[in-house]
Every structure is written in structure tokens, then in C-alpha cells.
Amino acid sequence: MLTFPQLPYTRQTYEDAAPKIQEMVERFKNAKTAEEAKTVCLNMDALSSNFIADYIVCYIRNHLDTSDKFYEDEQAHYDEIMPRVMEEFHAWTNALLETPFRKELSAEYGEIGFINAEIAKRSFSPDIVADSQEENALMTRYTKLLASAKIEFRGEEYNLAQMGPFALDADRATRKEATEATAYWSIAHQAQFDEIYDKLVALRTKMGKTLGHDNFIPAGYDKQGRNCYGPDEVAAYRAAVLEHIVPLVVKLKEKQAARIQVEEIKPYDDNLLFLDGNAAPKGTPDEILEAGRKMYHELSPETAEYIDAALKLESFDVLAKPNKAPGGFCYTIDKYKIPFVYANFNGTSDDVETLTHEVGHAFAAWRAFNYPISAQREYTFETAEVHSMAMEFLTWPWMELFYGNETDKFKQAHLENALSFLPYGCMVDEFQHIIYENPNMTPDERNKTWMELENKYRPWRKNEGVPFHADGRRWQLQSHIYQRPFYYIDYCLAQTNALAIWALSQNDWKDAWQKYFAFLEQAGTMTFVDLTAGAGLPSPFTPDALKLVAQAVENWL
Ligand code: ZN
């Protein structure tokens, strides 16, 4: 087996790829027997994984060493050709849906590939291409607006990210002043925030109608690739969060207020869990990495096998180095059966999070290599985030390796953050449903809607007197609302499964691990709903899962 640094690289071009894909499409259309159709499917999979392997190798190497001009130029090349190549792949999707051998192919590889192909097909029409380009331009404007932020604070100038630590300062006056400084900048640019969103809502509504819907919502669900639930199930989920989780978070916030010595939780208090800061891992980045290796060895034979292979294949590059680009991610190179974990360890709790969250993704990808066809290995977002978020909880018994005598403090923050995220995620989701059902709302009506949702989902948060927040404008800094409509609920659904696994692990860790493993081992061969049921986990679309979680949290605290 080749290690990551040994992997060969060849530039893939549109001129080379397009005729090959077209030939595959023709061969598939002309297949005379089911056996022939299957062979073409496998050939097509090999062709696309070959193309994508070079693309990902380039992407990772470009990140590993930003001073390497070669991969920088290669990356620019892919940025340019990828949209055209994707159009060729789209022709394959269409051919797949027209095959007379669907029954035979489904029997071999499962029906899910066809279900997902149908969603991909109805999400696209040549008639929305111009609107999509305009949508991209508006989203870029939003990104640039956020990136342009110059916030005056105590005589210095900061960007939005740099303001983060001040908003978590132990001194309340500092938190308040920092939050207000960000608010004043946002208010000064509110005309732009409103204009960009107005145009996005109008464009998306238009695209929804072009694709044959009454509004944007069904198109938004399709864009997320949702194949097993719709707005009704999501509404039932939000209702369950309101009933079982919001009252619990209210109680936790009362304790938090006492702990951080404030009488009521203002927006600038909400994220501060401890006056003396969050738990920090002990040891150097190398020691954290070594503790991670030990943890995965003890956790299960399968994770031991994964971590050994990952280190041997050098597909686990997590220590910070000169010229390495910032960030963390996990990308899978199917052709060489390598899930690549990328991070920049710096001795903070982010390192431990990479070891648990990103390794959850990588471990799932590693196990999915057991399936022959990419359609069986690919899963939707909420499923992928179960792999990572549940791994964060299943590694709790080893957290002392990282946090020592601060382990309980780490666990408390992890659990409280996971829980209080659910109401927030639901409000971001409900907001967007209301907006796209009523695309002609004025900016003031939108803000009023946000404020009503604040009071419904986060009643502990006292926004009065805090500029921007008190006007119901906080949503304008939540980038997903502009850039990834309807994405947010995926995190909530995944976190709900992860918390249910955590709740089970409190009684019987082994049972919880087995259910997690059963969920993960099916890779993308089933829908999220079927994976959840198949693993013996309660459905997040009934109150069962959240009831279980609320009960377990009460017991734990
Ligand atoms: Zn993730």
C-alpha cells in the first residue's frame, strides 16, 4: 500500500475526462444485459474515483505546504474546470435513471443510489444556471462584507474572529463592550445585510418556482440531498426540542448564571460557562497525538486497526508546521482507500476535538471502503455528523488522558454546549421556513420573526438594551442563513443521535458503542432514518430520543 506522500499525481483535464465520461454514458445506455450494465457502473466508479483522487491529492498537498507553487497552480486549474466536469457527471446521473436494468442494479447495490440520483436530477435545470451564478455572487458579497469588518474596540481595530475572545472575557464589562462594538459595526452595515438577503430570498424563490415548486423550501431540501424526511417531520422534531430540551436548558442557564455571577443571562453572558475559563488539555501537541493513539487502541479492535493504518499511511497530518494552511478537515481518497485527517495541533482543546470529531469522520470512511460502489459509501450530512459527534461522546472514558483533573469540567461544557445548541439550531431552521414561506416580508418583519423565535427557543436570554440583539438582527451574522439554507437542522438531528448514544453509554458503554458501530457500518446503503432504526436508536422525529436525552442529562448532573 502506498503512503500519502508516495501517492502519484497527474493533472486531470476537462479535455481528457469529458470524452471518457461521455463514452461511459453511451456504453451504459447501450448495455444489452444487466451484467453489462453492472460492469459499466463499476468502470464508471473507477473512472470518477481516479479523477477525484488527483483532485483531492492536489487539494491536500496544497494545504500541507502553501509555499509549493506547483500545487497552488494545480489547485487554480481545478477551480476553473470543476463546474464543467460536474456537468458531464450529471449526464451519467440522467442515464442511470433511464436504465431498464434498475431492478437488477438495485438488487445488487441497493435502491438508495437511484433515490439520490432522482433528487440530484430534480435539483438541476439549465433554466436555473444564471440564477445560481447570481446567487453565488451574492453569497460572495456576504462573505466579503463579513471579512471586511473593522471593529473599533478600546483604541484598536479588529476583525470579527479577533473579537471572539473578548466576548468570552471573564470581566463582564469587557464582554459587554466587545459585544456592543461588534453590534455597532453590524448596524452600520445593516442596509447591505438587508439588501443581500432580500435578493437571495427573491432569487431562491424564483429558482424554486422554476423547478416546479410553490416556493424555495422543497428545492432547499433537495439541495441538502434529503431522502427520508420533509418539513413535517422537521416541524415535529422542533416541537420535541421545545417540549423536552428548552426547559432543561433554562435550568442549566440558571446554574450557569450563578456560576459566572450574573443576575440574568445577557447575550454577552450566554457562551461563558466558567469564570476561570474552559478546561485545557495537558501536554504538548505530540503528547496529545500519542494519547489519541492509545485511546483508539483501547476503544475497539476496529479503531485500533484504523489508527495504526492511518499513521502508517501518513494520512494523519495533525501537527502544526511552517507553511501549513490553517484549518482542520477529513477528506477521503477512495481510489487509494485513504481517509485523510488534516489539522494544526496547537496544544488547545481544538486538538482533542480533532482527535474525536474528525477521526469519527475518518473511521466511518475507512469502514465504508468495504462497499464496492461509491453510491453505497456516500451518506447525507446528518449521517456524517453522527459519525463525528457521537465519537466525541463515546471517547468520554478516555478524556482523563487529555484533561487530567479538569476532565469533569470538560465533560460539563461539552454536554451543556451540545444541549443548548439544539434550541438555537431549531430557531435558525424555523426562521428560514417562515422566510421562504413568506418571501415578501420586509426586513423589519424578518427581524420581528427572529425576536419571536428568540423568546420561544431561548427564553433565558435577555436581549433588552443590547443594540443589534434587541432589534432581532442577530441572524445576520449566522452565515448559514445566507450561504447554506436549511443546512442547520442537520447538525441538530446528528447531535440528537449523538446525545442518544451518549445517554445509552451512561448505562452501558459497550451497548452504545455497538449501536454506533451498527449505524456506521452500513455506510450510505440506507437513509438516515433507516440507519437510525436499524441500529436500534430512537428516531429524532418522535419525542422518544429527546426524552431519553433529557432524562440522562438530569441524572448525570
Ligand atoms: Zn463534522
DSSP secondary structure, 85-140, as one string: HHHHHHHHHHHHHH-TTHHHHHHHH-SHHHHHHHHHHHH--GGGHHHHHHHHHHHH
Query: Cβ atoms within 10 A of the Cβ of 314, count?
Result: 15
* Res 539 pLDDT > 90: yes
Pairwise CA distance, residues 457 & 423, whole Å: 5
- Report CA(365)–ligand 1 centroid distance (Å): 12
The 316-319 sheet, strands edge to edge: 316-319, 338-345, 329-333
- Report CA(361)–ligand 1 centroid distance (Å): 7
pLDDT tens readout for residues 229-244: 999 999 999 999 999 9
What single letter denotes the amino acid at residue 275? Answer: L
- Report CA(55)–ligand 1 centroid distance (Å): 21
- Report CA(210)–ligand 1 centroid distance (Å): 32
* CA distances (Å), origin 387, targets 73, 329, 455, 520: 34, 14, 32, 7
- Report CA(241)–ligand 1 centroid distance (Å): 22
- Report CA(73)–ligand 1 centroid distance (Å): 28
* Res 277 pLDDT > 90: no
- Report CA(358)–ligand 1 centroid distance (Å): 6
- Report CA(100)–ligand 1 centroid distance (Å): 38
- Report CA(213)–ligand 1 centroid distance (Å): 31
pLDDT confidence of 87, banded at 50, 70, 90? confident
Instruction: Give the CA diameter of the chain.
Output: 75
pLDDT tens readout for residues 285-310: 899 999 999 999 999 999 999 999 99
- Report CA(351)–ligand 1 centroid distance (Å): 14
Pairwise CA distance, residues 307 & 295, whole Å: 10
| Contact partners, residue 183, CB within 8 Å, separation at least 6 | 466, 467, 468, 469
What is the model's pLDDT at position 82? 85
- Report CA(350)–ligand 1 centroid distance (Å): 13
Pairwise CA distance, residues 410 & 402, whole Å: 10
Interior/surface letters 25-35, b for 16+ CB within 10 angstroms, e for the rest: bebbeebeebe
pLDDT tens readout for residues 350-376: 889 889 999 999 999 999 999 999 999
What is the model's pLDDT at position 140? 87
Pairwise CA distance, residues 540 & 543, whole Å: 7
What single letter denotes the amino acid at residue 16? Answer: D
- Report CA(84)–ligand 1 centroid distance (Å): 28
pLDDT confidence of 133, banded at 50, 70, 90? confident
- Grid cell 421556513 in the structure block, residue: 433
Pairwise CA distance, residues 79 & 70, whole Å: 15
| Contact partners, residue 148, CB within 8 Å, separation at least 6 | none
- Report CA(341)–ligand 1 centroid distance (Å): 12
pLDDT confidence of 9, banded at 50, 70, 90? very high
Q: Calculate what percentage of the chain has a pLDDT beyond 90.
A: 87
Mean pLDDT is lowest, of 374-378, 500-504, 516-520, 533-537, for 374-378
* DSSP category for residue 424: H
* Res 147 pLDDT > 90: no
Task: Please give the grid coordinates belonging to residue 94.
Answer: 440522467
- Report CA(303)–ligand 1 centroid distance (Å): 18
- Report CA(471)–ligand 1 centroid distance (Å): 32
| Contact partners, residue 73, CB within 8 Å, separation at least 6 | none
Query: Cβ atoms within 10 A of the Cβ of 43, count?
Result: 15
- Report CA(381)–ligand 1 centroid distance (Å): 9
pLDDT tens readout for residues 11-29: 999 999 999 999 999 999 9
pLDDT confidence of 557, banded at 50, 70, 90? confident
- Report CA(59)–ligand 1 centroid distance (Å): 18
- Report CA(387)–ligand 1 centroid distance (Å): 8
pTM of the model: 0.94
pLDDT confidence of 346, banded at 50, 70, 90? confident
What is the model's pLDDT at position 349? 82
Query: Cβ atoms within 10 A of the Cβ of 554, count?
Result: 10
Pairwise CA distance, residues 127 & 85, whole Å: 19
- Report CA(383)–ligand 1 centroid distance (Å): 10
- Report CA(494)–ligand 1 centroid distance (Å): 10
Pairwise CA distance, residues 526 & 42, whole Å: 20
pLDDT tens readout for residues 428-451: 999 999 999 999 999 999 999 999
Mean pLDDT is lowest, of 76-80, 114-118, 384-388, for 76-80
**Which whole number is the average pLDDT over 95-103?**
96
- Report CA(289)–ligand 1 centroid distance (Å): 19
495 against 164, higher pLDDT: 495
Q: At what angle do helices 488-507 and 543-556 cross, to 10 degrees?
A: 50
Beta strands 338-345 and 329-333 are: antiparallel
Helix (H, G, I), strand (E, B) or coil at 495: helix
Phi, psi of 206 (to 5 degrees): -60, -45
* CA distances (Å), origin 483, targets 114, 202, 517: 28, 14, 33
- Report CA(180)–ligand 1 centroid distance (Å): 31
- Grid cell 473579537 in the structure block, residue: 163
**Which whole number is the average pLDDT over 274-295?**
92
Q: What is the average pLDDT score of the chain?
A: 95
- Report CA(428)–ligand 1 centroid distance (Å): 19
